[in-house]
């Protein structure tokens, strides 16, 4: 089949090639940082990787290996320790091997953004969004931390993608797959417990408008909710002191109290910290760079981005300076693209507006809940959706500039 025939048949040339390129770029970026950190060295693993939550996850994975699969005693979700235990079994006990799996998961997430982008906006927007995730310094950094963020982000994005497929496909297959993925995401991180609620009204309304019978609607809804409920029951089975429903109620209460007692400025500051924090201090810690802790737009602001860049320059840390510049560039490109998507009509021209509306609502809800913590790592699961919309904005801008050139 020649080039013209491929274009006519698929609408773009070699669709798999674009995904593969994005995945390879993403994987390379993550493996370069992995090699720079060298987590296989015992001293690096002990002093830089196994810190705070990472150490707790590693200890819980040891409990799993001793046969205590549902051992209670922690508010952490059980999914990530089970994941670590499985990797340690396959890798001969080497816990740092989980970072390699996460690098691959992060690369797969970038490829999934391309797949989603094609469904909504077309090839150019899809590739732009995929490369934003592939080269996002925060996503690259967190993939090399022993934390649940990247597995959760991939499971969440897969759950959203399969639900978007379920909206249009007949039968229960895609709804069931989405329910399973959301269940796994919930077991990876507690915030996942909220997300299936967002899919239910979209699925019900779309099924009703699509003319499906009440029986078919009920079957699809049951197929989606059953594995998710089973995941909650699995969590509850860990023990009386780790109750999923109590955790969820406590999180709801915390959020309501925060809204009631915090000023609007503080609430917006939490969102701003989530969206703009550089992660420079974590980057320095993983690479062993001696540097003053710098966090952007949080309670311990020390000069913001300008202070972070100035400090990296004065401390003669070109690696950290490059990280900061790259982080700032990706964030600016991402958010300018989102504004362009809204102003250039890219969202209105989406090929699957109902599916896109579900994706945007899910991203906004996740952003609202995650802003309670207001740190860079919680931006990673939201980043694929931000990049998806940003890619559409930049593609729309490019199309408008092309039209102006032709007019001239």
Q: What is the DSSP string of 116-155?
A: HHHHHT-HHHHHHHHHHHHH-HHHHHHHTSSSSHHHHHHH
Q: What is the pLDDT of residue 84?
A: 93
Mean per-residue pLDDT for 404-408?
76
| Mean pLDDT rounded to a whole number for the chain | 81
Grade residue 24 by pLDDT with cuts at 50, 70 and 90.
very high
How far is residue 208 from each of residues 161, 358, 404, measured CA to CA in Å?
A: 20, 16, 43
Mean per-residue pLDDT for 174-179?
94
Dist. CA 337–CA 206, nearest whole Å: 29
Q: What is the pLDDT of residue 135?
A: 95
Residue 3 has pLDDT above 70, yes or no: no
Per-residue DSSP letter, 79: H
Residue 258 has pLDDT above 70, yes or no: no
pLDDT > 90: what percent of the chain? Answer: 40
Say what the pTM is. 0.86
Mean per-residue pLDDT for 208-214?
84
Mean per-residue pLDDT for 145-152?
93
Which carries the bigger pLDDT value, residue 70 or residue 160?
A: 160
The residue among 82, 88, 32, 38 whose CA lies nearest residue 57 is: 82
Dist. CA 46–CA 58, nearest whole Å: 11
Mean per-residue pLDDT for 251-273?
57
Tens of pLDDT, residues 83-119: 999 999 999 889 999 999 999 999 999 999 999 999 9
Which carries the bigger pLDDT value, residue 204 or residue 264?
A: 204
Mean per-residue pLDDT for 71-87?
76
The three-state (H, E, C) secondary structure of 242-259, written as one string: CCHHHHHHHHHHHHHHHH
The residue among 235, 257, 255 whose CA lies nearest residue 245 is: 235
User: At CA 338, angle to CA 334 and CA 340, rounded to 5?
Assistant: 115
Burial 295-334 (b: 16+ CB within 10 A, else e): bbbbeeeeeebeebbebbeeeebeebbebbebbbebbebb
Per-residue DSSP letter, 48: I
Per-residue DSSP letter, 47: I
Burial of 35 (0-12, 13-18, 19+ CB in 10 A): exposed
Residue 351 has pLDDT above 50, yes or no: yes
């Amino acid at each position: 089949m020649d080039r013209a025939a491929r274009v006519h048949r698929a609408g773009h040339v070699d669709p798999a090639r674009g995904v593969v390129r994005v995945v390879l770029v993403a994987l390379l970026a993550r493996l370069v940082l992995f090699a720079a950190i060298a987590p296989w060295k015992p001293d690096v693993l002990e002093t830089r990787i196994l810190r705070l939550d990472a150490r707790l996850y590693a200890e819980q994975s040891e409990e799993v290996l001793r046969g205590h699969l549902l051992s209670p005693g922690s508010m952490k979700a059980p999914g990530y320790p089970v994941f670590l235990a499985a990797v340690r079994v396959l890798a001969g006990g080497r816990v740092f091997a989980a970072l390699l799996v996460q690098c691959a998961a992060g690369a797969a997430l970038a490829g999934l953004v391309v797949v989603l982008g094609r469904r909504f906006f077309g090839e150019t927007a899809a590739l732009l969004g995929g490369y934003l995730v592939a080269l996002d310094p925060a996503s690259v950094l967190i993939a090399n931390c022993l934390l649940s963020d990247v597995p959760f982000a991939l499971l969440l994005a897969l759950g959203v993608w399969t639900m978007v497929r379920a909206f249009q496909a007949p039968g229960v297959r895609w709804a069931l797959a989405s329910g399973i993925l959301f269940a796994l995401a919930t077991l990876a991180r507690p915030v996942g417990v909220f997300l299936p609620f967002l899919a239910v009204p979209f699925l019900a309304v779309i099924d009703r408008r699509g003319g499906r019978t009440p029986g078919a609607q009920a079957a699809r809804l049951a197929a989606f909710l059953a594995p998710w409920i089973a995941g909650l029951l699995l969590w509850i089975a860990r023990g009386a002191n780790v109750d999923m429903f109590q955790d969820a109620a406590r999180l709801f209460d915390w959020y309501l109290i925060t809204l009631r007692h915090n000023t609007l400025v503080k609430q917006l500051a939490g969102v701003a910290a989530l969206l703009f924090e550089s992660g420079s201090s974590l980057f320095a810690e993983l690479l062993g760079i001696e540097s003053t802790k710098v966090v952007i737009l949080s309670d311990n602001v020390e000069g913001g981005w300008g202070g972070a860049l100035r400090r990296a320059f004065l401390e003669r840390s070109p690696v950290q300076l490059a990280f900061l510049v790259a982080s700032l560039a990706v964030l600016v490109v991402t958010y300018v693209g989102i504004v362009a998507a809204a102003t250039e009509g890219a969202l209105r021209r989406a090929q699957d507006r109902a599916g896109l509306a579900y994706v945007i609502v899910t991203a906004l809800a996740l952003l609202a809940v995650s802003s309670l913590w207001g740190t860079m790592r919680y931006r990673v699961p939201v980043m694929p959706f931000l990049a998806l919309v940003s890619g559409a904005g930049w593609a729309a801008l490019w199309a408008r500039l092309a039209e102006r050139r032709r007019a001239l």
